[in-house]
Amino acid sequence: MKTVAIIEDQTAVREMLSQAILNDDHYDVVIESGDGLNGCEQCIQLKPEFVILDVMLPNLNGTEVLRRFAKEIPDTRVLIFSGYQTPGLIRQLLQAGAHGFVEKSAPLSELQKGIEIVASGGSYFGPEVASLLRDAMADPKSNESGISILTKREREILQLIAESHSTRAIAEKLSISVKTAENHRTNLMRKLDLHDVASLTRYAINNGLIVMGGS
């Protein structure tokens, strides 16, 4: 029996996933979380064999969760389950270590297929994602994201800024000084050539760090 973690911020979707997996005797759900950072930390501690991961998550987005998994629990298999997909985002997720991607608009049978294949060591991409992936591979330069020039800390701060956290709140959340948080904020603005919160928020949305109106 494979141990499973579900990291998904929408309660109804998380419960649906849990119920679908619990109906299969091959899996045991050991972690359910609606928070990216909390879910990531639980996974690093408990080391589940398989994770179903949303992309748009509070406190730590799916791409950053994957990057941490690659360092801490590289043997864990990860299937992305998200309603938000672009060629650039899919490229980022693959580079970060995703093993598959099923869109939330897909039928349950496709999700079950993706779970079975990825949990067993394979790779699986739903039809819509596979089409976007072909586009990304056909013209890779058009999908390169400037977000790659940011440090891990700058990406974390960008997400928090876009989620409307103040500099002081960001400092408290990341356990750094206000001055350090402000320096990181200044550096990422300089690197991206963006100089107000609205522009940073749009950039975060376009690069799959957050989404407006749910995930």
HSE-CB of 59 using CA atoms within 13 angstroms: 15
**What does the pLDDT look like over 111-127, one tens digit per residue?**
999 999 999 999 998 87
Determine the 3-state secondary structure of 48 from DSSP: coil
Contact call for residues 52 and 5 (beta carbons, < 8 A): yes
Does 3.40.47.10 match the CATH number of domain 2-141? no
Q: Is the pLDDT of residue 10 over 50?
A: yes
In the chain the first and final C-alpha atoms are separated, in Å, by 30
Mean pLDDT: which of 112-116, 139-143, 159-163 is highest?
A: 112-116
Determine the 3-state secondary structure of 68 from DSSP: helix
Same fold, 2-141 and 146-206: no
Domain boundaries, the chain: 2-141, 146-206
Q: What is the largest CA-CA distance in the chain?
A: 52
Specify the range with the lowest mean pLDDT, choosing from 32-41, 57-66, 148-157: 148-157
Phi, psi of 20 (to 5 degrees): -65, -40
Q: What mean pLDDT comes out for the span 141-167?
A: 77
Q: What is the DSSP letter of 144?
A: -
> Which two tokens mark 212?
């407006």
Mean pLDDT: which of 11-20, 151-160, 190-199 is highest?
A: 11-20
The structural architecture, per CATH, of the domain 146-206 is Orthogonal Bundle (1.10)
pTM for the whole structure: 0.70
Determine the 3-state secondary structure of 101 from DSSP: strand
